[in-house]
Amino acid sequence: MKKLKLSAVFLFAAIALAGCTSSSGVLDPEDVAQGSHENISSLTAVIKANPRDPDGYNVRGSAYGRAGRNKEAIADFTSAIALDSNFYKAYANRALIYRNTGNMSAAIADYNRALAINPNYDVALIGRGNVYRLSGKLDLAYNDFNSAIQAGTTDGRAWHNRALIEQARGDQQQAIADFGAAMSRQPNAPAPYNGRGLSYAALGDWDNAFDDFNAAIRLDGSNAESWSNQAMVYEHRGDKKKAYASYTKAVSLDPGFKPAREGQSRTRG
């Protein structure tokens, strides 16, 4: 009985953490520029040659965003919007930077502006849904993910993030279905496998959970969450030696990952 209680407590913590750390989204996927110094320099040259073209600022802003240069990114998206007040992609891109810097109210405002211009823009619907989800406004988040799916998005994050809400609400069967839908659209992403594995574990289906966590590891062996989840199954099975090894691997990848550190401490020796 003690082992079952331990698994339940740890599983609840893992599900809660998955809901907080899930990947949030990317800058407009149509902007292919990377955040390297060379690309930013070439984009700057393009802007100097065409200073009234809002697309140039939007693309360079995306590159700055990928490079973590948030102030420059915001400045470029703002310049793009000043040149074209209906540039909904620039609003959505600026919103993501605001969200990543913790300015949730500014992010919501920009996503609202983007959606006022293009109500079916899936990037903005998914992005705003994530801000709502991270702010604990699950009903609003759920509605945005639904809207993105109904608008015909092919972005697996809509199903993945909707699944996180279903999982948090305890609707594990629907979460499993949505994680599966996300996998079909993001076959190389480990996050949906980790998510579905946690829902399987919540239902007591530890074998399918184990398969999903192992699949996540095969897709990305540098993901601490995947190793920690695998360790959770070993611990549930009573195999402390293997659990400790997997928790230790997770800690080596991310020393700040609390579930792995706590699991390592429980299974040491």
CATH number, domain containing residue 150: 1.25.40.10
Q: Binning pLDDT at 50, 70 and 90, where does residue 179 land?
A: very high
Domain co-membership, 175 together with 197: no
Report if residue 69 sits inside a domain: yes
Strands (E), the chain: none
Neighbours of 174 (CB within 10 A): 15
Which residue, 103, 135, 167, sits at the end of a domain?
103
- The pLDDT of 77-88, averaged and rounded, is 98
Domain co-membership, 17 together with 35: no
Q: What is the pLDDT of residues 83-114, one digit of tens each?
A: 999 999 999 999 999 999 999 999 999 999 99
Report if residue 109 sits inside a domain: no
Report if residue 108 sits inside a domain: no
Domain co-membership, 97 together with 135: no
Domain co-membership, 215 together with 265: yes
- The pLDDT of 53-73, averaged and rounded, is 95
Residue 17: the pLDDT is 60
Place of tokens 């520029």: 33
Report if residue 111 sits inside a domain: no
Give Cβ neighbours of residue 237 (< 8 Å, ≥ 6 apart): 206
pLDDT at 154 over 60: yes
| Top-confidence residue, 226 or 18 | 226
Domain co-membership, 35 together with 58: yes
Of 12-26, 126-140, 172-186, give the lowest mean pLDDT range: 12-26
pLDDT at 19 over 80: no
pLDDT above 70 as % of the chain: 87
Domain co-membership, 87 together with 160: no
Which residue, 165, 186, 207, sits at the end of a domain?
186
Report if residue 95 sits inside a domain: yes
Domain containing 57 equals 26-103
d(CA 88, CA 104): 18
Domain co-membership, 14 together with 78: no
d(CA 187, CA 8): 29
Report if residue 114 sits inside a domain: no
- Answer yes or no: are the C-beta atoms of 162 and 145 closer than 8 Å: yes
Give Cβ neighbours of residue 63 (< 8 Å, ≥ 6 apart): 31, 33, 34, 35, 36, 39, 40, 43
Domain co-membership, 193 together with 269: yes
Domain co-membership, 62 together with 95: yes
Token pair of 95 as six digits: 């919103």
Domain co-membership, 258 together with 182: no
Residue 9: the pLDDT is 52
Number of folded domains that form the chain: 3
Report angle CA 202, 207, 209 to the nearest 5 degrees: 45
What pTM, to 2 d.p., does this model score? 0.86
- Answer yes or no: are the C-beta atoms of 63 and 35 closer than 8 Å: yes
Give Cβ neighbours of residue 44 (< 8 Å, ≥ 6 apart): 60
Domain co-membership, 224 together with 200: yes
Which residue, 186, 220, 235, sits at the end of a domain?
186
Domain co-membership, 97 together with 30: yes
d(CA 149, CA 224): 30
Distances (CA, A) of 51 to 33, 62, 71, 206, 220: 18, 17, 19, 58, 42
